[in-house]
Structure 1
Amino acid sequence: MAGNSDPLTPRAKLAVTAGKAVAAASRAAGRGSGSVIGGRVALKLDPDLLARLAQNLDVVLVSATNGKTTTTRLIAEALRAAGPVVSNALGANMPAGITSALAGGSDAKFAVIEVDEKYLAGVARDTDPKCIALLNLSRDQLDRAAETRMLAENWREGLAGSKSVVVANADDPLVVWAASSSPNVIWVAAGQMWKDDAWSCPSCGGVMQRPGDDWYCGECGFRRPTPSWALSGDHVLDPHGSAWPIHLQLPGRANKANAASSAAVAAVFGVPPQVALERMYQVQAVAGRYDVVQFQNRDLRLLLAKNPAGWLETFSLIDPPPTPVILSVNARSADGTDTSWLWDVDYTRLTGHPIFVIGDRKLDLAVRLEVANQSFQVCENLDQAVQLAPPGRIEVIANYTAFQDLRRRVGN
């Protein structure tokens, strides 16, 4: 922990004040939280502001294609056992949003920051994190985020020689390859349901062998490292072999994996697994995800799935048939405008569910479901889909901006 008790120069203080004013004006105008525009203004006035705000904090960065918002929340809850935490809990995960979040945490000891995969190396340079959590890499926003191998390369270069403790998923070959350039890695066996982005070796391009839960490259010898933490059913195994029960209100195996990684991060800061995992129980929903809401006298459960890996995990969460399912897909800039990823999702897993399709790209999705031999109805909007759905709780699965549209419509 470097620096004096007040690291902010007069210019930095002016930048923070101006950023907050612009954010407040944006909120008042009904344009969202204002954190991104406020952060942009603040960084224009002081380009070094992010580094200044971070220098008296113990910083944790969390990056991944899937699960980073939830894992950020879980780590933040766990670390509150050791002191006040500032976090970008609403998911504004590029430099402007991160700067806004840190500017609001004057009394914090820890900063737990979700970082967009493309920006990880730069944010790590600016914030000198004590710990970096890397969960997974899979295809997402194909027109913006580049190929997963390029992201892994970017991470690998950015982490080379880093002083940070890197907590990384031993089951994702791309993450292992990226993290292996760092001298201080804690490996977590968090599992990997989606494997289609890691069939070739990131080190040499050879074919990966995947016997059971293990993996290795038959050509160059690159292989799964031995984990010191592991997810085992409903328990986290710590480096001493003790099993700690996971009690979460969040559903699904993916969130247990997020909890296992979060417990490993908390331990870096001296928070024991039992305390960390008990605190994670407080998290009921994350930015509206997993919320059950009342709409038109029906219970709707809102689930976010923005890429093939996320859809695969989400299908494992939903209630069995004949539970009705509403699917909504947009392709705005925040989603990625390329919807070819729909063909990577196994929609046959929805067989037996009455399916209703909405969203900007409902016809793209309809063609995909037709090929997958699913019976479905295309609807104009959420209201119509809910009216047509048979009785019972409805599972609503949407990608990023479609999810935000849904939350606005149901008043969540």
Structure 2
Amino acid sequence: MVVGNKIQFKDKLRLGLAVSIAKSVTLMVRSLNLGAASVLPGAIARRIEPRLLPLLSQQVKNGVILVAGTNGKTTTSLFLRDILERQGFRVAHNSTGANLENGLMTALMESANLVGSLDVDYAILEVDENILPRVLAPIQPKLIVCLNLFRDQLDRYGEVDTISKRWGSAIATLPPETIIVANADDPTICYLGQQLSQQRVTFFGLNEPENYLESIPHAVDSIYCPSCGHALDYKGVYLSHMGEYTCPSCGFTRNQPTIDSSRWPQILIGLYNKYNTLAAATAAMELGIEEATIRDAIPNFQPAFGRAEELNINGKQVRILLSKNPVGTNETIRVVTQSHHKTTLLVLNDRIQDGEDVSWIWDVDTEKLVQRGGTLIVSGDRAYDMALRLRYSDPAPQNTCKLIVQENLQQAINTALEHTPDHETLHILPTYTAMLDVREVLTGRKIR
């Protein structure tokens, strides 16, 4: 049991035992170069002390911040951490991206001492959208950032509406002092925020009509009113179903964002990273951070691995753009097609972390990538599925682009680099496990 931020003596022994064993496991795994030890220590410690998550999270002095959503969790979390650390705060963070329960516990233990005492001001934990409802009660977060909800790994998670209802029911049980930072441009998230009558809710979103898409893309999930089910009227769409909307039937409409996005620069490239910037900035302001401090952090921000990360390989520039679901891949394709760089490597895997159902690639607007021309190389466990999708993107793709299928990833990367002129950048669009494989080939280091 925790009283205030202090653990009662009778709980200290078991907690200390769990943490010390977990730290020993971490040391062993890393010493043997078996990975980052971002999940296993939590799994072991949890067996010893099942209350590990509340015992650790309730020691965080200023509270735990949860970042949840389908896309953007890692980048938003990392930027918010940068902001807080610039203010001198000590922050625990699951920086490896291990966002299931064992990963959350491992991250907290990383910042604890051998007896389980945690001396940090904040903990920023990115949380998988499916487990958010399960961790709210034990963590009792100070602030929750609700980024977006898109279709992602339907074989594991189910539909967007199901997840949003579970989120709303769980968040509604939290204390009134809990702060919710919600995406106004996502109808499902915006409606969720509007239904929370007890908690403090603030919104972020874009006010940039010049960035509207020409039409609503194929990969949309929530273009119907979450209140009455009527089709929403969109003034404009930024990406997928996110934009400015109203319901002509019941009057449901988008909340006005707290921050005027047109006045803000963004971290990294891509419109989706403008959302990540605004989410982190809004959260930081809710925590009392000055706007000037937040703005100062933007030019110095370094991306997490695979999220618009840039590497120099044998004198050539490589940019890795994680592409793990229809919406995210459409946005990375937008980044590629808006550039003048014409060589792209797509790597599609179907492992557990990716989702074993790869039918989502047929919801991706690959036509834009194929019709612009250039060289496309495909690889990964499902290389031929991706190649087929690209073939169907143009009746005669050989007339517009060169398509190369190379199952072996090392050879695929070598081929892509060979086809990339010295003055251009090679874009690599991998799914999650493919991104880990790509980075291992490029850097010689595993991330697990």
CA deviation after TM superposition for structure 1 residue 353, in Å: 2.8
1:299–1:393 CA contact under 8 A, matched in 2: yes
Of 183, 188, 204 in structure 2, the residue corresponding to residue 174 of structure 1 is 188
Q: Deviations over 1:172-191 (max 9, x none)?
A: 01111233332321011247
Establish whether residue 377 from structure 1 lines up as the match of residue 404 from structure 2: yes
C-alpha separation in 2, matches of 1:247 and 1:307: 23
SS in 1 for 2:261: strand
C-alpha separation in 1, matches of 2:94 and 2:179: 21
2:38–2:98 CA contact under 8 A, matched in 1: yes
Structure 2 residue aligned with 1:77? 82
Give the root-mean-square deviation of aligned CA atoms: 2.1
Establish whether residue 49 from structure 1 lines up as the match of residue 52 from structure 2: yes
CA deviation after TM superposition for structure 1 residue 115, in Å: 0.3
Amino acid at match of 1:206: H
Structure 2 residue aligned with 1:242? none
Of 361, 374, 377 in structure 2, the residue corresponding to residue 356 of structure 1 is 377
List gaps (5 residues or longer) in structure 2: 112-117, 237-242
1:155–1:179 CA contact under 8 A, matched in 2: no
2:266–2:277 CA contact under 8 A, matched in 1: no
Of 211, 224, 228 in structure 2, the residue corresponding to residue 200 of structure 1 is 224
Amino acid at match of 2:245: W
How do 1:60-209 and structure 2 match up within 5 A?
Answer: 60-80=65-85, 81-105=87-111, 106-163=118-175, 164-182=178-196, 183=198, 184-190=200-206, 196-209=220-233
Q: How does the TM-score come out when normalised to structure 2? A: 0.84
Structure 1 residue aligned with 2:354? 335
Structure 2 residue aligned with 1:267? 285
C-alpha separation in 2, matches of 1:4 and 1:65: 32
Give the direction of change, closer, same or farther, for the CA distance of 1:63–1:190 in structure 2 (3 Å limit): farther
C-alpha separation in 2, matches of 1:128 and 1:281: 33
Deviates more, 1:379-388 or 1:133-142: 379-388
C-alpha separation in 1, matches of 2:95 and 2:441: 22
Amino acid at match of 2:180: V
Amino acid at match of 1:188: F
SS in 2 for 1:357: strand
CA deviation after TM superposition for structure 1 residue 161, in Å: 4.1
C-alpha separation in 2, matches of 1:83 and 1:322: 40
Q: Deviations over 1:204-249 (max 9, x none)?
A: 32212212342122333322123222322xx24xxxxxxxxx363x
CA deviation after TM superposition for structure 1 residue 304, in Å: 0.7
CA deviation after TM superposition for structure 1 residue 5, in Å: 4.4
Structure 1 residue aligned with 2:431? 399
CA deviation after TM superposition for structure 1 residue 387, in Å: 5.2
SS in 1 for 2:202: strand
Deviates more, 1:365-374 or 1:171-180: 171-180
C-alpha separation in 2, matches of 1:369 and 1:359: 15
SS in 1 for 2:269: coil
Of 14, 18, 23 in structure 1, the residue corresponding to residue 17 of structure 2 is 14
CA deviation after TM superposition for structure 1 residue 377, in Å: 1.3
CA deviation after TM superposition for structure 1 residue 34, in Å: 1.2
Amino acid at match of 1:120: L
2:202–2:258 CA contact under 8 A, matched in 1: yes
Structure 2 residue aligned with 1:241? none
Percentage of matched positions with identical amino acids: 33
How do 1:194-273 and structure 2 match up within 5 A?
Answer: 196-212=220-236, 213-232=243-262, 235-236=263-264, 246=265, 248=267, 250-273=268-291
What is the count of residue pairs matched by the alignment?
400
1:293–1:299 CA contact under 8 A, matched in 2: yes
Structure 1 residue aligned with 2:318? 300
Q: How does the TM-score come out when normalised to structure 1? A: 0.91
CA deviation after TM superposition for structure 1 residue 10, in Å: 1.3
Structure 2 residue aligned with 1:28? 31
